[in-house]
Structure formats: structure tokens, C-alpha cells
Chain A
Amino acid sequence: MSHGRTERLVNLALCLMSSRRRLWTADEVRRTVPGYDEHPETPAGEAAFRRAFERDKDELRRLGFPLEVRESLTGVDGYRIPPQEAMLPDVSLDPDEARAVGLAVRMWRSGTLKHAAGRAWEKLHAAGVDDIHPDVPPGDHQDGTGLFQEVPVVDTGEPSFDPLLAALRDRYAVSFDYRRSGAPHAETREVEPWGMRAVRGRWYLVGFDRQRESSRVFRLSRISGGIRRVGPRGGAARPAGVNLSVGYDGEERSRTALVRLRQDRAHEVRRLADSVAPDPQRSGYDLARVPFGDVERAGAMVASHGADAVVLEPEDLREHVVALLSAQVVGS
């Protein structure tokens, strides 16, 4: 860790925010801010200074500083940080509001947003926001306030989450390889990202698919091989007030299956049944009436219980289960 760079960054920020000069050119910064003077006045030293200065400016932007570039009176680039815009505005939170924020920042389990939330809290805390029970982990019942016994946990560990978040922020169009459910191979898609939404613990990208010329929803877990940026920064349009709804294919159970269940077995099937009664034909077994919609989904569930669950009706479901089971006999 370079200690010299730490104070150089702090001093550069203070310098560019100070009112002692309207704009600072690179040369003025080099002569003024301690740490840049180590580069000798040679072409190589000049180049080294330029590289260090560029890196430091990028770092200040990453820290949150709005760094402005304008042409100075002498016609070269000048830099400044407007202090009012650089500083977090006044935030005054009541204790219960601060407690809510103190808990909310612990919601992210992993990834960029977990770290971002930690840094945001550091800034809010520095601005005077104090969690009344900072030591009590969210949800622990020892927290005598009775406030917020629960805090949700959200994971953003998908590898494509971070690059997509950056693309959304900077409005880049992106392309990626995407494998639709059940499709044998991935296809390349080119998308203008509108937003991301987590539903039941899974992340989806909503955006405009350029080849299909309409909006589409993509599951992040089906993206492979990384996110590539397409075109310039700001090149992707985002309609105002975009509705990030992600459809969920709820199953309509309009048919009924008659299934014979071994007693005290196949509880997954029993829980879905409308009725369960002992089988008069066969002791040790029950007959269950189970509503279902999709033959494949219902068939997979029944087949998974082997001899503990046997479809008696309807015929198409029975045939599907037999096909699934036969495949495993052959495969063994």
C-alpha cells in the first residue's frame, strides 16, 4: 500500500475543492499538490506525472467526487470540484428512521451492492446519522426496541450482475450469450438494458432486444460468457417510467389426477391433494385427488416418488410417468 498516494488523493481533492483558484490546470496541480513533485522535469517524468494524475482523477470520481473539466484562460484543460455538489446534503433522521437505514444497509448478502451499502453507511454515519442499536445484528430478538425484527437478505452474486449494473448506470447497450429454457444452445442477444429485478431470489434483466425489436426479460443465470458493451456510453435508450414487471408463470391447475400413495409417503403429493382417503382395494395405501395443470410438471413430481406414488388417471399423465421411469431403468 502506497502511503504517499493516500495523502496525495486527499490533498488533490481538497485542492480542487478549494476556492483559492477557479480552475486548476495539470501543471498547477503538479506544482502545488505534494506527491506529484517526485516526477522529474523530463519528458519521461512528464509522462509519469500525467499517468498518475489521470489515475488519481479516475479514483476521485470513483470515490464520488463530481470532477469538472473546463478550458482555462490559457486554453488548456482546467479542473475543479464544486464543493456544494461534492458534499452529501444535510440529512437529519429521527432515531427510528436511522435504525431502518442501519438495518437496510445490511440487506445485501454479497457483491458490489453489499460493499456499496457499507460505504454509503460510512458516509451517512459521518454526516451524523447514528443507528440507535448499531451493535445489534438485524433481527436479533435482544433488540429491545421492537423495531424491525426482520431484515430481508438479497444476494447479488450472479457474475453478470455487476457488469449489467455498470451498463445500466452508463447507458451502454450490451450483448451476451443467452440460453433460453430448454434450448440446446446459447444465442447471442443484443439488448438495451432498462433495469434489473429480483423475483424469488433470482435476478432478471428487462430491456429492449434489438434483433427482436421488442422488450424482453432475461434471467441472469442463463447468461454465459460475460457481458460485452456495444456502442458508445449513453448509446442505449431507456424509456421514462419503465415498468419492470417480470411475469411469473403461475400454474393453473384445472385438471385432476387420481394417484395411489403409499401410506405416510410422498408428502409432496399429499400437500397438493384436494382429498386423501384410504384405498379400499389395497391396504397400506391411500387414494389422492390431486389438481394439476401441466402434464410434464405433475409427471416429474409423481415419478420422483417412485413406487410410493402411482398415477391411476388420467392416461396421458400415467404414460408420461411411465416414460420418465423407463428412461431411468435403461440408464442404470
Chain B
Amino acid sequence: MSGSADRARRLLALVPYLKSHPGASMAQTAEAFGVTPRQVEKDLWLLFTDCGLPGYLPGDLIDIDFGPDGIWVSEDAGLRRPVRTTPEEGLAVVVALRVLRDTADPGQRDAVDRALAKLETALAAQHHPVVAVTPPETTEHEDTVRGALREGRAVQLRYYSAGRDTVSERTVDPIRMVAIDGHWYLSAFCRRAQGVRMFRMDRIDAATALDEPAAPPPDVPTPRVPYEPRPDDMRLVLRLSPEAAWVAEYYRCDEVTDGPDGSLRVVLRMHDRSLARRLVLGLGPACQVLEPQALAAEVGEAAREALEAYR
């Protein structure tokens, strides 16, 4: 959408917003639209001086009073309500609410259902493209974790770290459970790591709610995604045969290039060297390490050592 169309969209919503929030302040209005108060003032001037109904006589124009006490619209030129949502806009809300209903605590489902019932009609859901999101599967220790969250209790976890292939015991202060890209995660302050970590729920092997209260430190940074690239990540370049093409889908790759023989050349980043070694070993003839050479040598050595055990 062009800049002028974007601004026109805001102007068309601004008038009904001020009708439904009479006396709103400049700051409040700016926040509602994600712009600066200065921009709101410019928008109001434009509406006030240049927008109205054909004829464009004083009675046809949009009339707005604004000052330090707030903003009032006295003549709206017919803009009493916001413009109807487009199919994408309606879809984005309705599908999101359906996912929220599927993943919410049972006690909160009712509010979502009521919102859905009202909005499916108002947003004309029957005309939306068919888009659905399957909620993440429930996991074994979900009830324990949810219970601890509700009661504000710390939790003792036995957790499998796939990156390092280790299992560890940790005491954590749960913050919330989140569903990201089809998996449940527990976001919690890990007392051992002294930081907030995302624990994938299906990798929790045991969970016990403790008697002590959860006390996550107030100002710790909270990750919003389970994995963020780090500057010291290793850069891998692999050649993959077609049967290993799933690697390019499973891992976020920086580059994927098609080879003439149906192979793929992929560039990806990995934090754990042991994960990279295991990935390549498990792929066998379907994967060749192009870079780094040290990893190729390490994999070859690990394979040789393993084959000794099969003799």
C-alpha cells in the first residue's frame, strides 16, 4: 500500500475513533494509531481543512475541535463508522481467535467463543478464504506446568537439550507457556543458567511443582522466539541429495541453491557443534560437508571410530 493510501486509511479510521472516544488526548490517539502526536495533529489539520462532502461548504466539511483538553468531532461528513474489514483483515482476526480458543486455558475459552460469535458475523467470516491452524499437540507434563503457572510455584524439570544431546535437572521459575510455530514452549527463568530460557514442552521428561513460590527476577530480558542466531554460530555449507532435502525445510537456511543433478547446496548456521556432527552422521551418503573442513574431518573420524564397534 502506498504512503498516501496508508495515510488515507488512518484518516478514515481517525474520525470514527474520535467519535467512539470523545475527548481523547493527542497522546492517546497517537498511541492508538502507532504514530507521533505531531502526526495526529497534522492529520487533524488535513481532515479539518481539506476533507468533506461534495460542495465543500462549511457545513459539508469535517469539523474538529482540538486543544489541550482533548479532541472532539462535531461534523463527521458521514464517517460515523470505520470501513468494513477486507477478507484478509477479517481472516487474520477470526483465524487467530480460533487458534487462541484451541490453545487457551479451558476457563478462558468462553470469552474467546463469545468474541468469535460476535466477530464472525461483523467481519463476514463466510466470505474469507479457508485458512486453518492446527493447535500444537498437548504434552505429557502440560497439566503440571499449567498448574504451577496458575499457582505461581517454581518447578523442578528434567529437560532434554536437543542441541547438545544432554539431559539435565533444573529448577525454573515459570513465566508463561507459549505456542510458537506449532510447538508448546515454557518460558521460564532458569536458576542454573541465570536467565530466561524457552523449554520445548515435548522435551520435558519430568516436571514437579515445588512448594516454593516462583520468583523470576523482574527485569530479565525475555526471548520471544526459541532460537535466535548468535554471532559465534558455526557456518555450515552442505550438499544434500534429494532424500535429504528435508534439512533445507527443517532448519532455517541462509541460502538454498539447486544443483543440476537434483542436489541442494545449503548454507545454515548452528550453535552446537555436536548437533552439526550428529546431523551429518545421520544423513550418511545423502550429505556432504563442503564447509568447514574441520567438521568434515571430525565427522569422518567419528564414523571410523563407530565402525570399529561394528566389527
Q: Are B89 and A63 in contact (CB under 8 A)?
A: no
Selected contact of B182 from candidates A147, A201, A306, A329, CB within 8 Å: A201
Whole-angstrom distance between the Cβ of A115 and the nearest chain B Cβ: 8
Give min CB distance, B188 to chain A, whole Å.
11
A-B contact list, 5 entries, CB within 8 Å: A97-B115, A113-B91, A181-B246, A184-B242, A321-B310
Are B100 and A9 in contact, CB atoms less than 8 angstroms apart? Answer: no
Beta-carbon contact of B297 and A332 below 8 Å: yes
In the assembled complex, the CB of A147 is this many whole angstroms from the nearest CB of chain B, namely 6
Residues of chain A in range 156-189 having any CB-CB distance to chain B below 8 Å: 165, 168-169, 179, 181-185
B309's nearest neighbour on chain A, judged by CB, is A310
- Counting chain A residues whose Cβ lies within 8 A of the other chain, the interface size class is 35 or more
Return chain B residues, CB-CB under 8 Å to A324: 281-285
A155 contacts chain B at the CB level, 8 A cutoff? yes
Q: Are B119 and A91 in contact (CB under 8 A)?
A: yes
Q: Which of A10, A101, A155, A332 contacts B97 (CB 8 A)?
A: A101
- Which candidate, A15-23, A70-78, A210-218, is the interface stretch facing chain B? A15-23
B residues 218-244 touching A (CB-CB < 8 Å): 222, 224-225, 242-243
Which residues between 74 and 118 of chain B lie within 8 Å of chain A, taking CB atoms?
77-93, 95-97, 99-100, 103-105, 108, 111-112, 114-115, 118
CA A123 to CA B89, docked complex, whole Å: 10
Contact of B300 among A194, A323, A332 (CB under 8 A): A332
With A20-B55, A120-B85, A267-B160 already in contact, 9 other A-B pairs whose C-beta atoms are closer than 8 Å = A5-B4, A123-B84, A153-B179, A195-B131, A198-B182, A327-B284, A328-B302, A329-B300, A332-B296
Contact A306 B111 (CB under 8 A): no
Stretch binding the partner chain, chosen from B7-15, B63-71, B265-273: B7-15
Q: With CB as the reference atom, state the residue of chain B lying closest to A61.
A: B86
- Considering only residues 52-72 of chain A, those with a C-beta below 8 Å from chain B are 59, 62-66
Asked whether B89 lies within 8 Å of A6 as measured between CB atoms, the reply is: no
A14–B131 touching, CB < 8 Å: no
Is A331 a contact partner of B296 (Cβ separation < 8 A)? yes
Residues in chain B near residue A85, CB distance under 8 A: 84
Q: Nearest residue in A to B20 (C-beta to C-beta)?
A: A128
- Which residues of A293-312 are within 8 A (CB) of B? 300-301, 303-307, 310
Tell me the chain A residues, 241-272 only, with Cβ under 8 Å from chain B.
242, 244, 246, 260, 265-268, 270-271
The answer to whether A202 touches B182, judged by C-beta atoms less than 8 angstroms apart, is yes
Kindly provide the distance from the CB of A318 to the nearest chain B CB, expressed in whole angstroms.
Answer: 7
Which one of B85, B105, B130, B246 contacts A195 once the chains associate, using CB atoms below 8 Å? B130
In order of increasing CB-CB distance, the 10 nearest A-B pairs are: A332-B300, A201-B181, A324-B284, A195-B130, A184-B262, A304-B282, A201-B182, A327-B285, A128-B20, A200-B182
Are B54 and A15 in touch, CB under 8 angstroms?
yes
Q: Interface of chain B, helix or strand or loop or mixed?
A: helix
Q: Please indicate the chain A residues that have their CB under 8 angstroms from the CB of B129 in the complex.
A: 165, 168-169, 195-196
Q: Does B284 contact A328, Cβ atoms closer than 8 Å?
A: yes
Chain B interface: which size bin? 35 or more
Interface stretch of the complex, out of A37-45, A103-111, A226-234: A103-111
Q: Would A325 and B99 count as touching, CB distance under 8 A?
A: no
B93, B246, B307, B310: the one contacting A104 at CB < 8 Å is B93
Q: Is the CB of A300 within 8 A of B12?
A: no
A35 to B306, CA, bound (A): 78
Scoring A3, A117, A152, A155 by chain B CB atoms within 10 A of each residue's CB, the highest score goes to: A152
Q: State which of A88, A114, A124, A150 has its C-beta within 8 Å of the C-beta of B178.
A: A150
Contacts from A to B (Cβ < 8 Å): 1-3, 5-7, 9-11, 13-15, 17-18, 20-21, 32-34, 59, 62-66, 83, 85-94, 96-101, 103-105, 107-108, 112-114, 116-117, 119-128, 139-141, 147-155, 165, 168-169, 179, 181-185, 194-202, 219, 221-222, 224, 238, 242, 244, 246, 260, 265-268, 270-271, 300-301, 303-307, 310, 318, 321-329, 331-332
A87 contacts B84, C-beta separation under 8 Å = yes
Quick one: which of B135, B167, B310 has the most chain A CB within 10 A? B310
Are A267 and B167 in contact, CB atoms less than 8 angstroms apart? yes
**Residue among B32, B91, B92 with max Cβ neighbours from chain A (10 Å):** B92
Contact A101 B281 (CB under 8 A): no
- In the complex the two chains form, is B7's CB within 8 Å of A197's CB? no
Complex contacts, A202 vs chain B, CB 8 Å: 182, 249
